[in-house]
Structure 1
Amino acid sequence: MSSWRDFPMPELLVSSARGWLGTPEAERTAAAPKPSSTVMLLREASSGEGVEVFVLRRASSMPFAPGMIAFPGGGVDARDADPDVPWAGPSPQEWAGRLGTEEAVARELVIAAAREVFEECGVLLAGPDAGSVAADLTDLSWGRERAALLDRRQSFGEMLTRLDLVLRTDLLALRAHWTTPLCEPRRYDTRFFAARMPQGQVADDLSSEAERVEWATPQALLRADEEGREILLPPTRVMVEQLALVGDLDAWLDRASEVRRVMPWPVEHSDRLWMRAPLDADGNGLRAGVTT
C-alpha cells in the first residue's frame, strides 16, 4: 500500500513554511542540503519483547531541530573523505550500490555515521579485526580521543590507524533516506543507518548537543509524541514506527532493504500546517509514477 501522509507541522517550523507558501513559486529559493548520517543504536527490550533505541533530546541551543528527539548523527565533513580509513565489511563500492551514490560519497556517509555515533555517545563501531568489536571504552583515554575528534585535532581514520582498529561497516544496516523540505533554511540529505549496540560498550550522555538521552521503546516514544511530551520530526517518527514492528532484531538488521528518498513539503488544510510525505508501508518514498 502506498499513500501520501500528512504530519502535524511543529510550531518551530511554521514561520519558514508560511513564508515559503506565501512566496510566488518563481521567486522561491532553497538551500542546498548537506549530506548527513544518523544511526539508530538498538538492543533487545528489557521486557523481552521488541527493541529499545538510543535517543537524545537535542539541546534548545541547537540551530536545527532544537528540543526534538533524534538519533545520534550529523553532517559529513572533510575528515570523512579519507580513503585510508582502516575498513572491514562491505566495501565503499558495495555501499555505493546500496546508497545509490558515487563511491567517494558512500565512503563519506559510512564514515560519518561511525564517527558521529562515537563523538555523540561514545559507541565505537570498530575493533581489532573484521570479527571483533572494541568492548571496554571506560578508560579515560577514550574521552581524550573523542575530544580530539570534536575539536578536529584528529580524524576518525587517524584515530583508528593509530589504535590499530578497523571500521566494522558490516555492523551498519541502511534503513532510510530523507531530505529536509525545500522550505527550511537549514537542509540535510540524511541516510538513516541501524546498528546493534556493541556488547560491553555503554552509550553515554556526555554530548553537548543533547539535553537528555535515554534508551526507550518505540511504543513509549510514539506515546510521548502523541501526548505532546516530546516532538518527533516526520523521519524520526516513521523510523520509530518501523522499529515498533521489529520482533527479531538480528533478522531485521540482516534483511536486505530497498531505500528510496523521501522529501516532505508543507501544505495547509483543516486550519493548520502539515508536512506531507509520499510513503509506502515500509516508510520509503513512493516508487516513480505512484501518485496515490
Structure 2
Amino acid sequence: MSSSKPLLKRRFQLWQDELEAAQSWVEHGERTPTKARFASSLVLLKDSVSGPETYLSYRRGYSPLGTVAFPGGSVETTDDVEIDWIGPSPAAWAKTMGMTDSSLARQHIVAVIREAFEETGILLAGTDASSLIDIAPTAELMKKREALAAQDFSFQDMLNKRGLALRTDLLKPIINWISPDFAHRRFNTRYFAAAAPVNQTPVPLESKALWASWVCPAKLIAERDTSNLGDQVGAENTVGRTLGELVSSGCDLILSKIAMSRGCIAYLNHARPASSYQPKLVVENGEFWLEVDSAAVPDGVCRER
C-alpha cells in the first residue's frame, strides 16, 4: 500500500483593493474573468555585503503588479516593432518562455527593456554582444524618459539614432504570473531578471515615482510581519502595512527565492522550467486567501500553512 505526502500550499493575504472584487466574485458566482493584459517586469540584481539586492519602486494608485513592485508595465502596441537584436532569436525566446508565438515573445522582451529604461534609466542595449551603453542620469536623459513614457517618441527611434541594439542576452526569464480570475484589472506578466550594469545608476522617473530603492530581499522576508518597508516608502497607502499588503504574490515568491540564493550569479544561472502560475481564491472560515500548490511554486519556494 503506497502513501503520499500531503500537498503543501502557499497562501497569501489579499490586498484591501482586491478584497471587494473577491467578495463579489464569491457572492455573485463565478463568471468570465476580465481579459488579462500582457505585461513585462524586470528584476534588477546586484550583490552586497548583506547578500543579493534588488530594485523596487512605489506605484501610485492600484496596480496588479503591486503597490511596491519591480520595474515593469503593460506590453504596448508600439512594442510590436522590429528592433536590432543581440542574443537569442524571438523564436528561441518563445521556446524558452514556453510560448508558441514568437511575435508575442519579442513584444515581451522589447517591453521589459523599454519599461526598465522608462522607470529606472537602466538601458540594456549596446552596439554589439560585448558592449553596453554607458549613460549618466542627467536632466536631459530624464526628459527623454518622460517623453518616452508619454509616448511622444518611439523607443525604436531612440535606439536607431544611437546605433543601439537590445542586449536580450542579458535577460533571464523567471516566471509567468497571471492575476487571479476575480480581479477587475488583470495582468499576464512575464518576469525577467538581469544583473544591474556597473556603468549605469537607476533613478526613478520624476513624474511617477514617490520612492524607489535597492533593497535586500533577505531582510524584507525576515521582517515580513513588520511595517518597516511600508513606513520607509512613506506613502498614505503604505505606512503601517506589511510586506504581504504591499507586493503581489508573484513578487513575494521572487523575493523569497532571491533571499535564499547565494548571490546574483547563482540566482541568474539557476535552471527554471517554463511554467505559468496563477493563484486560486480560497475562502476559509470567512477569510479570503490566494493559494498556490507547491507544484506550481517556482524553484520549490513554499511554506506549509
TM-score normalized with structure 2 length: 0.85
Alignment partner of 1:176 is 2:181: no
Aligned to 2:52: 51
User: Is the partner of 2:276 in helix, strand or coil?
Assistant: coil
Contact 1:114 1:124 in 2 (8 A): yes
Q: Deviations over 1:189-226 (max 9, x none)?
A: 00110000001111112253332111010022224432
Conservation of the 8 A alpha-carbon contact between 2:221 and 2:259: no
Matched with 1:239 is 254
Q: Aligned pair in 2 of structure 1 residues 44, 9: CA closer, same or farther (>3 Å)? A: same
Question: 2:277 aligned with 1:262, yes or no?
Answer: yes
Q: What is the percentage of aligned positions where both structures have the same residue?
A: 30
Contact 1:176–1:191, Cα closer than 8 Å, also in 2: yes
Structure 2 residue 19 is matched with structure 1 residue 14: yes
**Gapped regions of structure 1 (runs ≥ 5):** 287-292
Asked if the contact 1:183/1:265 (under 8 Å) is kept, the reply is no
**Is 1:99 equivalent to 2:102 in the alignment?**
no
Residue 199 of structure 1 aligns to a residue whose secondary structure is coil
For 2:112, give the aligned amino acid.
Answer: A
Shift in alpha-carbon separation, 1:128–1:108, aligned structure 2, 3 A: same
Counterpart Cα distance in 2 of 1:66 and 1:210: 15
Letter paired with 1:276: E
1:282 positional shift: 5.4
AA at the equivalent of 1:212: W
Q: CA-to-partner distance for each residue in 1:93-150, whole Å, 9 max, x for gaps?
A: 1101011221100000000000000000110011122211112333443223212311
Instruction: Tell me if structure 2 keeps the 8 A contact 1:262–1:285.
Output: no
What TM-score, normalized to structure 1?
0.88
Residue type at the aligned position of 2:167 = R
**Contact 1:260 1:285 (8 Å CA) reproduced:** no
Number of equivalences: 279
Q: How does 1:65-214 map to 2 (within 5 A)?
A: 65=64, 68-83=67-82, 85-101=83-99, 102-214=101-213
In structure 2, distance between residues paired with 1:57 and 1:225: 17
> 2:130 aligns to what SS in structure 1?
coil
8 Å CA contact retained: 1:242, 1:282? no
Measured in 1, the distance between the counterparts of 2:10 and 2:165 equals 41
SS of aligned partner of 2:136: coil
The structure 1 residue matched to 2:38, chosen from 18, 21, 35, is 35
Structure 2 Cα separation of the partners of residues 67 and 262 of structure 1: 16
**Contact preservation (8 Å) 1:176, 1:284:** no
Q: Is residue 4–residue 276 contact of structure 1 (8 Å, CA) maintained in 2?
A: yes
Once the 2 structures are TM-superposed, how far is the Cα of residue 248 of structure 1 from its aligned partner? Answer: 3.1
Give distance in 2, aligned partners of 1:55 and 1:195. Answer: 14
Counterpart-to-counterpart distance in 1, 2:174 and 2:197: 19
Contact preservation (8 Å) 2:44, 2:193: yes
2:269 and 2:300 map into 1 onto residues whose CA distance is 21
Q: Distance in 2 between matches of 1:135 and 1:199?
A: 9
Shift in Å at residue 251 of structure 1? 3.2
Aligned-partner Cα distance in 1 for 2:254–2:274? 12
